[in-house]
């Protein structure tokens, strides 16, 4: 790297801070997008938000100071339309350039201004009298690197590309595969994306579907897949206690349950049972829609563990959820003589010491709790099965951490030191199959894709926010009949849109949490005034956890009729008597999140309804989302649709997965490559592990360091 012209210690440091320390890192710093300067667009045809190059004659110049210096230049072209160029910082020489009549060519993204369209700080050039030549290729736009300007970066990448080795040294993928898929070599692909040739398919490059981009996406997806697979293989080298009891306790629980297992529960439990009998650790993710009955599958797995003489633990992300599990497991397991212990943050002092002693001695056979289970000072007694509920809230990185922790937490008896527990992960957020393959290549995935019989589907309607007053009456009527209702407030402020779009979990993002909390407070006050006869509670992410818990519990116990809440209630709360939900600003939420919210009602036998309130006008995308929800309540169908509409980064929650650290691949766009990635990955691991190693190092080494920073 330091051999490149222009890379002194200062620049090298800036690059390194961004994870760029080798020539290879620069080759793989791929353009985020391209600017098309090969054409001139007529000003009349410009669209807000769509970048374009235009050329025109300066018609008027205005220099002013409103709050800050301002330069406005109006240019017009043959299409009889005017565009305003707006600058906030500029030098006197620049002003002089824009003499009326001068010809200007500029590139930028127009937006609606006070007087028609304008471009703020476009890149521009004043043309000489007879100058007409246009660029003949797309200009790559690179991700910004702090402290290295775009022009320097482009030059550096150019210099690095000049040292790109030949195919023999660079290529890691089998020729036959590339030929089959009609994809170019890595060298050719890199040169094409960095320096699109004159005759390149511009539309494909802009869309990210050019064969050169597909080729790079294939390799990147493969590298990620291999990295997850390697983690899995490493874990599978560990031993785990094989749990293969006769199943007496399982039989007794089945006989005691007031229902028969669904076909899906039978199938998934059989898979789990097979896994547990193995002498290496199970790593299974059970995806099942809200209400699909994951808990009983977990309970059966715990019973196998107990019958084999070992200990099982079940961890949930919130106390409320953990308490629900505790109640279920106690109800099911204690009549069978199984001892269930409870460990959460609020278990303190003597009670805590007593629980810890039971856990450590093995007197507690099943331990239920929150993150508290993972804390120091908690010693298990031959923990053989770790069950984690609502995995989506934890995310891949945390899952890996939990796994490591599980291994550390394992008892210290010398003969068992090398063993790690089996792991069963439950999630209520279904992920499309294709995506699951990419996101969870380190797990086996089972689907509980069938709901227990007798559920009345939630009737879903979308209404314009103007009809809010009617809803107040509807709540009054429902609560008068002893039903309970949720009123969910979501983000309403435009300025926060970005945080809202990316924050799946939502309540964490600072500004958004605050605005949501305010909205909930206001709504709470308005509804309290309109419905004085009702007992109304309020929960939002800004409240103390104890206060939140208390309100939730009151609602659960029926001491409240109406719960005004932010999206904090999204996860796992089970109040069977709640049969009406109203979601405000539903157009702002993603499909997966709306589906999760809606899953809070329809848990009992009463017919439930969900009203999605929206602010008109609806965008086409929002309309599709609301329609999807009206049409189906199948989480898997919704997840597929969500993937198609929004893309995987948002679907999975950017931060949570690490998937968004892809340089170029896009799981929605490139999903069709995944089966190939899968097959190729297995082959490489079996036949050429050192090639697999190099692929992972090439694509993930630097990026992983960067992502972790
Ligand atoms: P989730 O998958 O959302 O965690 P739960 O495990 O909480 O779902 O189950 C939802 C409800 O359905 C619980 O009341 C549970 O007892 C009940 N249930 C689970 N399995 C069945 C079944 N096979 N038939 C009828 N009810 C069931
Ligand atoms: Mg559950």
Q: Which domains does the chain have, with CATH numbers?
A: 9-34+141-200 (no CATH), 39-134 (2.40.50.140), 238-448 (3.40.50.300), 458-632 (3.40.50.300)
Distance from residue 28's CA to the centre of ligand 2 (Å): 42
Q: Rounded distance, CA 321 to CA 640, Å?
A: 27
pLDDT of residue 513: 67
Distance from residue 253's CA to the centre of ligand 1 (Å): 14
Residue 428 in contact with ligand 1 by CB distance below 6 A: yes
Return the beta strands (E) in 1-115 as ranges. 33-35, 52-66, 68-76, 82-87, 103-108, 111-113
What are the CA-CA distances from residue 117 to residues 102, 307, 345 (Å)?
A: 20, 72, 56
User: Residue 118 pairs with which residues in a beta bridge?
Assistant: 84, 111
Nearest CA to ligand 1 atom 25: 452
pLDDT of residue 634: 84
CA-nearest of 398, 393, 418, 399 to 408 is 418
Distance from residue 510's CA to the centre of ligand 2 (Å): 28
pLDDT of residue 661: 61
Nearest CA to ligand 1 atom 23: 261
pLDDT of residue 706: 39
Distance from residue 603's CA to the centre of ligand 1 (Å): 9
Distance from residue 17's CA to the centre of ligand 1 (Å): 49
Closest ligand to C-alpha of residue 602 is 1
Distance from residue 293's CA to the centre of ligand 1 (Å): 3
Closest ligand to C-alpha of residue 317 is 2
Residue 604 in contact with ligand 1 by CB distance below 6 A: no
Q: Is the dihedral of CA 33, 36, 37, 40 positive or negative?
A: negative
Residue 292 in contact with ligand 1 by CB distance below 6 A: yes
Nearest CA to ligand 1 atom 17: 293
| Model confidence, pTM | 0.68
Helix or strand or coil: residue 367?
strand
Ligand 1: residue of 295, 450, 455, 595 to mutate (most ligand atoms within 8 A of CB) is 295
Helix or strand or coil: residue 237?
coil
pLDDT of residue 404: 54
Closest ligand to C-alpha of residue 298 is 1
Residue 262 in contact with ligand 1 by CB distance below 6 A: yes
CA-nearest of 327, 324, 328 to 316 is 324
Q: Rounded distance, CA 275 to CA 95, Å?
A: 73
Distance from residue 626's CA to the centre of ligand 2 (Å): 25
Q: What are phi and psi of 366, to 5 degrees?
A: -125, 130
pLDDT, block means (10 residues), the chain with 709 residues:
79 87 91 87 90 93 80 91 90 87 92 87 86 82 88 92 93 93 95 90 88 95 86 80 95 96 97 96 87 94 97 87 90 97 89 93 93 80 88 54 50 52 84 66 82 84 92 94 92 40 39 74 94 94 82 91 84 79 89 84 84 88 90 84 63 40 78 87 92 90 43
Distance from residue 630's CA to the centre of ligand 1 (Å): 23
Structure tokens at 279: 């002498």
What are the CA-CA distances from residue 472 to residues 462, 467, 528, 563, 572 (Å)?
A: 16, 9, 11, 13, 26
Residue 294 in contact with ligand 1 by CB distance below 6 A: yes
Ligand 1: residue of 452, 574, 575 to mutate (most ligand atoms within 8 A of CB) is 452
Residue 296 in contact with ligand 1 by CB distance below 6 A: yes
Closest ligand to C-alpha of residue 293 is 1
Nearest CA to ligand 1 atom 4: 294
Structure tokens at 321: 């959820």
Q: Which atom of ligand 1 is nearest to the CA of 292?
A: 2
Distance from residue 452's CA to the centre of ligand 2 (Å): 14
Distance from residue 371's CA to the centre of ligand 2 (Å): 16
């Amino acid at each position: 790297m330091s051999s490149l012209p222009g890379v002194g210690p200062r620049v090298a440091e800036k690059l390194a801070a961004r994870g760029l320390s080798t020539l290879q890192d620069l080759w793989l710093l791929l353009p985020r997008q391209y600017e098309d300067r090969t054409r001139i667009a007529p000003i009349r045809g410009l669209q807000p938000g769509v970048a374009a190059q235009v050329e025109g004659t300066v018609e008027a110049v205005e220099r002013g100071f409103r709050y800050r210096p301002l330069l406005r230049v109006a240019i017009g072209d043959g299409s009889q339309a005017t565009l305003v160029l707006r600058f906030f910082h500029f030098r006197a020489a620049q002003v002089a350039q824009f003499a009326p009549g001068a010809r200007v060519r500029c590139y930028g993204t127009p937006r609606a201004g006070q007087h028609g369209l304008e471009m703020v700080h476009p890149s521009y050039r004043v043309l000489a009298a007879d100058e007409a030549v246009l660029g003949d290729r797309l200009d790559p736009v690179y991700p910004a690197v702090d402290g290295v300007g775009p022009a320097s970066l482009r030059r550096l990448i150019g210099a690095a590309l000049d040292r790109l080795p030949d195919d023999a040294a660079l290529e890691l993928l089998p020729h036959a595969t590339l030929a089959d898929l009609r994809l170019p070599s890595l060298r050719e692909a890199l040169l094409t994306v960095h320096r699109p040739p004159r005759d390149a398919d511009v539309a494909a490059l802009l869309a990210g579907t050019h064969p050169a981009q597909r080729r790079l996406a294939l390799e990147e997806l493969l590298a990620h897949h291999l990295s997850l697979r390697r983690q899995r293989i490493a874990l599978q080298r560990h031993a785990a206690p094989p749990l293969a009891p006769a199943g007496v306790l399982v039989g007794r629980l089945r006989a005691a349950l007031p229902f028969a297992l669904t076909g899906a529960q039978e199938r998934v439990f059989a898979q789990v049972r097979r896994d547990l009998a193995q002498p290496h650790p199970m790593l299974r993710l059970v995806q099942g829609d809200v209400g699909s009955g994951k808990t009983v599958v977990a309970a059966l797995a715990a019973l196998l563990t107990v019958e084999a003489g070992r200990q099982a633990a079940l961890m949930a992300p919130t106390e409320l959820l953990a308490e629900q599990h505790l109640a279920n497991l106690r109800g099911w397991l204690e009549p069978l003589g199984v001892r269930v212990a409870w460990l959460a943050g609020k278990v303190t002092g003597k009670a805590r010491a007593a629980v810890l002693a039971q856990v450590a001695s093995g007197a507690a056979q099943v331990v239920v709790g929150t993150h508290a289970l993972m804390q120091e000072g908690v010693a298990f007694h031959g923990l053989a099965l770790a069950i984690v509920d609502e995995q989506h809230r934890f995310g891949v990185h945390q899952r890996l951490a939990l796994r490591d922790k599980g291994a550390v937490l394992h008892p210290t008896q010398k003969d068992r030191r090398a063993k790690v527990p089996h792991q069963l992960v439950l999630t209520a957020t279904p992920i499309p199959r294709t995506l699951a393959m990419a996101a969870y290549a380190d797990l086996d995935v089972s689907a509980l894709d069938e709901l227990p019989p007798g559920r009345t589907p939630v009737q879903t309607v979308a209404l314009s926010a103007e009809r809010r007053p009617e809803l107040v009456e509807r709540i009054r009527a429902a609560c008068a009949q002893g039903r309970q209702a949720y009123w969910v407030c979501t983000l309403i402020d435009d300025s926060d849109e970005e945080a809202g779009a990316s924050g799946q979990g939502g309540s964490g993002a600072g500004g958004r949490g605050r605005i949501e909390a305010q909205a909930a407070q206001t709504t709470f006050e308005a509804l309290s005034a309109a419905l004085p006869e009702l007992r109304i509670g309020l929960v939002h992410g800004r409240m103390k956890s104890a206060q939140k818990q208390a309100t939730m519990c009151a609602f659960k116990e029926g001491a409240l009729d109406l719960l005004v809440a932010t999206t904090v209630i999204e996860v796992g709360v089970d109040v069977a008597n709640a049969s009406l939900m109203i979601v405000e600003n539903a157009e702002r939420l993603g499909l997966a999140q709306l589906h999760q919210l809606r899953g809070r009602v329809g848990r009992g036998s009463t017919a439930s309804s969900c009203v999605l309130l929206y602010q008109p006008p609806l965008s086409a995308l929002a309309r599709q989302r609301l329609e999807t929800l009206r049409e189906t309540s199948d989480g898997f169908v919704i997840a597929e649709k969500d993937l198609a509409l929004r893309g995987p980064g948002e679907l999975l929650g950017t931060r949570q997965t690490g998937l968004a650290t892809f340089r170029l691949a896009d799981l929605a766009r490139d999903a069709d490559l995944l089966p190939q990635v899968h097959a190729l990955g297995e082959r490489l691991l079996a036949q050429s592990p050192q090639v697999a190693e190099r692929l992972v190092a090439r694509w993930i080494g630097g990026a992983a360091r960067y992502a972790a920073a």
